Amino acid sequence: MQTPPQKETEEAAKAYLNFFQGKDFTRENFAQAAQQGSELLEAAGGWKEALRAIRRHWVQTQGDHLAGLHSDFFEGLVHPAILERARHVAVWGVSAEADLGETQRVQSAPHPSLKEHIEEAAKQL
């Protein structure tokens, strides 16, 4: 089992998630959310540890919707290899890493059609 995130990282994740409770979209709230996210990344030392702390806080407060995978209900009903993979993913998540080699970061402006609806797009994010 993994060790819990550091206390500072857990607190930053909690503050980040709690920030969104009951807030409507405004430019100010969007900027504050970005700042909260930056503080979480700094406390965690990177995005992987930040996401781990977010998930841990979520499971502690909202529950784990995949917890039932670890009961013996599925034994004999689901192929063992599929069940093992599902349980692994439930605990460790899906690997989203890809070795794409070195690339150069490209910065660009929003698509012209988005420029007219930038606030709407930010609200949906």
Mind listing the pLDDT tens digit for each residue in 71-87?
Answer: 999 999 999 999 999 99
Is residue 46 exposed (0-12), middle (13-18) or buried (19+ Cβ within 10 Å)? Answer: exposed
pLDDT per position as a tens digit, 16-74: 999 988 888 888 998 999 999 999 999 999 998 999 899 889 888 988 888 899 999 99
Domain that holds residue 37: 1-63
Residues 58 and 7 in one domain: yes
Asked if residue 19 and residue 56 are part of one domain, the reply reads yes
Q: How far apart are CA 106 and CA 104, in angstroms?
A: 6
Residue 83 belongs to a domain: yes
pLDDT score recorded for residue 65: 85
User: For the whole model, what pTM was predicted?
Assistant: 0.63
pLDDT of residue 105: 77
Structure-model confidence comparison of residues 36 and 92, the more confident one: 36
Q: Which of 45, 63, 81 is the C-terminal boundary of a domain? A: 63
